Structure 1
Amino acid sequence: MTGDLFAPSRGRPRVVIVGGGFGGLRVARGLRHARADVVVIDRVNHHLFQPLLYQVATALLPPGDIAPPLRQILADQANTSVLLGEVTAVDPATRTVRADTADGADRAVPYDYLVIAAGTTDNYFGHDDWAAAAPGMKTLYQAIGLRSRLLHAFEAAAAAPDPGTRREWLTFAVVGAGPTGVELAGQLAALARRTLRREFHDLDPTHLRIVVVDAGHHVLAPFPQQLRRHTQRQLRRLGIEIVLGHTATAVDDTGLTVAPADSHDGSRRISARTVVWAAGVKPVPLAARLAAATNAATDHKGRVVVGDDCALPGHPDVFAIGDIANVHDLPGIAEPAIQQGRYVAELIKHRLGHRPHPGPFRYRDLGIMATISPFDAVADIRGLRLHGPLGKAAWAGVHLGFLVGWANRAAVLATWGWALGTRRRRQQLILTEATG
């Protein structure tokens, strides 16, 4: 693509895509041969494969294997440009978005078609002050910080002379028993018991405590009962405590207080120097600004409600997809975003005169899955329910298939094999401001 990104398009229509995640990237790649100029705007310079983010946080994968740069991915698309910046506003009247760009300026970017795929952020349910004590895991920066935090806890435990303090450092609390919480807890158990126990000779493995807390009454609530029971049983075999039907009522640097979800009576304290938040997400603030600018409705989760064509009512040139949008009330996972992105690309190509009309958006449910341990995962693939090694094989195949780039797929597969064979992890780095 040539020309000024900040000047009105001339000759060819311009498609502006906000967000380079699963949905946004699928739109951009779907338009690679379109007679249009495509601009991808993102706050970070990379695409992020979020389903494997917890493996960066637990020192299994290097960050680059799940976060290829957007410019690298789209380098061969002559009609596509990448702009590093954060979109702060949408103006349908002038058909522009405002973005804080990498040079510190606030600029307007004109569009003919706009696709908002900006994703989500952590939801602390009115307690944003807990974020410092209980970090989430939505970005690569957060995952790298969490890796340092987890590894530092073991170093602090090894240095602590007091047994009580040592136990606090060796207690890890995960708030949320969905796929993210379950997968993080399982990998943390593997990190501690398969890798670090051979390196920290002064630590007693029996002092390790991992606690998963959730307000619901099941782990992996969206999964079939058979797979939920298997997951809960396997987590307990790994020594992971599961506290269901409880919500966090207070979080600080030394732990959290939990109470029954239907009552604040019977609260109890969990002393843990490391608390990780995996209890929920909400759309980024841009969703509310988009809704206000277009008079669109939002649902109880703050997602923008769109039509069967993924466009905002009354604004056929503005689309919202992925976690930021309510499209048939689909869950906020990768596959709906990918399918929505593919659909919107086809619809835009139709409007450009390249394709027949794709009809209304129809989602094809390919199933859900989550990993528990190095040799166990659960999967519900269109009614086929797998667990154990078969579930793990299905989980690994799907995740490798969704990764961007054959080099990354090969690197991740090699790292998994090496870690399974040696019980070692090569990313055990604590990064601080003093790191040289």
Structure 2
Amino acid sequence: MSDGPTRVLILGGGFGGLFCARRLGGADVEVTLLDRAACHVFQPLLYQCATGTLSIGQISRSLREELAPHRNVTTLLGQACDLDPEARRLTARRPDDTTFTLDYDVLVIAVGMRQAYFGHEEFAQWAPGMKTLDDALSIRRRLYGAFEMAETLPPGPDRDAWLTFAVTGGGPTGVELAGQIREMATRALANEFHSINPEDARVILFDGGTCVLKSFAPDLTHKATDILTRLGVEQRMGVHVTDVRPDGITVTPKSGGAAETYAARTVLWTAGVEAVPFARHAAEVLGANTDGAGRIAVEADLTVPGHPEVFVIGDLVGRDHLPGVAENAMQGGLHVAACVRRDLAGKPRKPYRYRDLGSAAYISRGHALLQAGPVKLSGVLGWIAWGVIHIAFLTGVQNRASTVTSWLATIARANRTDRTFILGATTSPEHPYDWMKVTHPNMVAHGPDAEKPTD
């Protein structure tokens, strides 16, 4: 331990890291929050940014701004890359690939998960996931750009491929994306084109299970299936995605049978998650067990076995089948802060107790599902409850007010106020930030051997 105040190092500014840092504000500790983007992103609404309903600023906030009132909390931009548990020292990399070190007394690993492609990393080039603001903007470009491309083509297979959207994964994110694409095509874009009819857009949802939203109660999954069908979303269940290309997707039925190929110029991936490389490195040097997705086995108080100074929270926790949802991360962050405060007071730590606050999924205007214990809501009531919950957890009063305004405008006029997209061109041969090189066209051209970001 250091001679001065306890040094708490938090890795990741998501729900877990942010809630932990805020709860430690004013305590007799020195808190450092390290994040590779220096902002908190409200991930449950990323798909609304991708489909043009909300802007980046409405679903994210600068960590430095958010934590400014807490004078004992320092926010740093960087990406964790190496951990020395014996010296209690972390090495972080700046965006320009230089490094710096941070010493700690207590380490909180809250780096989250990334999209999993199940051994087919080459799919990522053609099928972006939905985990970061960059992902949301990339998807926005692909969605709106597809309609623009179709407008320039004569009727035929090429135009049809640009008007076909494939979504992999029938969980909340996949269902929300599929529903929003159809709503976007049938409402916001319906009367804006001359050569094409956006309502002809084909949205196909693929999943390996027997139904969408399989974590919800059966009656809610049935309602979700019916709503998606009425929207015009085609649902292909019980299939594995075996290939993704720039011009389409191939799936194979799990029950056997011939592979099926779909011509689709836009493929979106929401089918799974896995630990980021640093989390796997941390587990290795800490001697911790992990599951197939890289989640780290922890003690009852969320510490790594043999390392009471190292906590793991959020999606990375491999214990008691804890869900990878925002509520678990928030509660984990608050739990760690309570443990640190109890340490300072000389009191024993308490075990972590997760309180299930339920699940929710937004499908389209007037249709959302909410499940919280015995309470099950759908339709307009579920939609209203969904909105209230998401507004409550947005950071910043200004974000809440502007988000409500955007939602009301979308409801009233069917328009989407944040549809601007950029093509990603750059005037320099390299991005100034090393970990963004993979997004440069010159890097993409290298295919699956192109450099990948480390988390």
Instruction: Report deviation, 1:358.
Output: 5.3
Equivalent residue number for residue 227 of structure 2: 234
Task: For residue 202 of structure 1, report the CA deviation from its aligned partner.
Answer: 2.1
Contact 1:19 1:40 in 2 (8 A): yes
Which residue is equivalent to 2:323?
Answer: 331
Alpha-carbon shift at residue 89 of structure 1 (Å): 1.6
Task: Choose which of 166, 169, 174 in structure 2 pairs with 1:176.
Answer: 169
CA–CA distance in 2 between the matches of 1:174 and 1:351? 47
The answer to whether the 8 A contact 2:12-2:33 is kept is yes
State the SS of the aligned residue for 1:126.
Answer: coil
What's the CA shift for 1:201?
Answer: 2.8
Question: Residues 83 and 101 of structure 1 are in contact (CA less than 8 Å); yes or no, is this contact kept in structure 2?
Answer: no
**Structure 1 residues 233 and 28, CA, compared in 2 at 3 Å: closer, same or farther?**
same
| Distance in structure 2 (CA, Å) of the matches to 1:88 and 1:157 | 43
Q: Does 1:203 align with 2:196?
A: yes
- Pairing 1:377–2:377 present: no
Contact 1:340 1:361 in 2 (8 A): yes
2: CA distance between counterparts of 1:85 and 1:435?
A: 23
Distance in 1 (CA, whole Å) between partners of 2:42 and 2:2 is 32
The runs of 5 or more residues in structure 2 that have no matched partner are 428-455
Q: CA deviation at 1:266?
A: 2.0
Kept in 2, the 8 Å contact 1:135–1:276? The answer is yes
Q: Give the 3-state SS of the residue equivalent to 2:22 in structure 1.
A: helix
Picking from 146, 152, 158, the partner of 2:151 is: 158
Q: Is the 8 A contact 1:16 1:41 kept in 2?
A: yes
What SS class does the counterpart of residue 359 from structure 1 fall into?
Answer: coil
Distance in structure 2 (CA, Å) of the matches to 1:214 and 1:189: 18
Contact 1:134 / 1:274 at 8 angstroms: preserved in 2? yes
Counterpart check, 1:312 vs 2:301: no
Determine which of 53, 58, 77 is the counterpart of 1:60.
53
Amino acid in structure 2 at the alignment position of 1:261: K
Q: Does 1:401 align with 2:401?
A: no
- Partner residue of 1:188 out of 181, 190, 193: 181
**Which piece of structure 1 moves more, 200-209 or 228-237?**
200-209
Cα shift readout 1:311-369 (whole Å, capped 9, x = no counterpart): 00110000000112213221101011111110110001111128x54521111111111
RMSD of Structure 2 on Structure 1 (CA) = 1.5
Preserved contact between residue 197 and residue 203 of structure 1 (Cα < 8 Å): no
TM-superposed deviation, 1:301: 2.0
Structure 1 contact 185–240 (Cα < 8 Å) conserved: yes
Residue 10 (structure 1) shift: 4.6
**Residues 161 and 263 in structure 2, CA contact (< 8 A), matched pair in contact too:** yes
One-letter code aligned to 1:69? S
| Shift of residue 9, structure 1, vs aligned partner | 5.1
Letter in 2 for 1:81: T
d(CA) in 2 for partners of 1:297 and 1:156?
48
Cα deviation 1:241-276 (Å, max 9, x = unaligned): 00000111111011101111243x221111110000
Q: Would you say the 8 A contact 2:301–2:349 is kept in 1? A: no
Query: Structure 1: any 5+ residue segments left out of the alignment?
Result: 1-7
- Say whether residues 1:345 and 2:337 are aligned partners: yes
Equivalences, count: 427
> What does the per-residue CA deviation read over 1:195-214, in whole Å, with 9 as the maximum and x for residues that have no partner?
11111132124531000000
Corresponding residue for residue 3 of structure 1: none
320-329 or 201-210, larger mean C-alpha shift: 201-210
Other structure's SS at 1:177 match: coil
- Name the counterpart of 1:386: 377
The 8 Å contact of residues 146 and 265 in structure 2, kept in 1 or not, is answered as: yes
TM-score with structure 2 length normalisation?
A: 0.91
Give the % identical residues. 43
1:433 CA displacement: 3.9
2:207 counterpart of 1:243: no
Instruction: Give the 3-state SS of the residue equivalent to 2:216 in structure 1.
Output: coil
- Distance in 1 (CA, whole Å) between partners of 2:426 and 2:281 is 39
- Please tell me the residue identity of whatever aligns with 1:269: T
Deviation of the 1:103 alpha carbon: 5.5
Superposition map of 1:112-123 within 5 A: 112-123=105-116
**Residue matched to 1:425:** 416
1:290-305 alignment runs, 5 A limit:
290-305=282-297
2:101 is matched with which residue: 94, 108, 122?
Answer: 108
Q: 1:412 is paired with a residue of what secondary structure?
A: helix
Asked whether 1:76 is paired with 2:69, we answer: yes
Q: Helix, strand or coil for the counterpart of 2:61? A: coil
Q: Is the 8 Å Cα contact of residues 343 and 358 (structure 1) preserved in structure 2?
A: no
Give the 3-state SS of the residue equivalent to 1:198 in structure 2: coil
Give the whole-Å Cα distance in 2 for the aligned partners of 1:217 and 1:145: 30
Residues 374, 50 of structure 1: alpha-carbon distance in 2 compared, 3 angstrom cutoff: same
Q: Is the Cα–Cα contact under 8 Å of residues 370 and 377 in structure 2 kept in the other structure?
A: yes
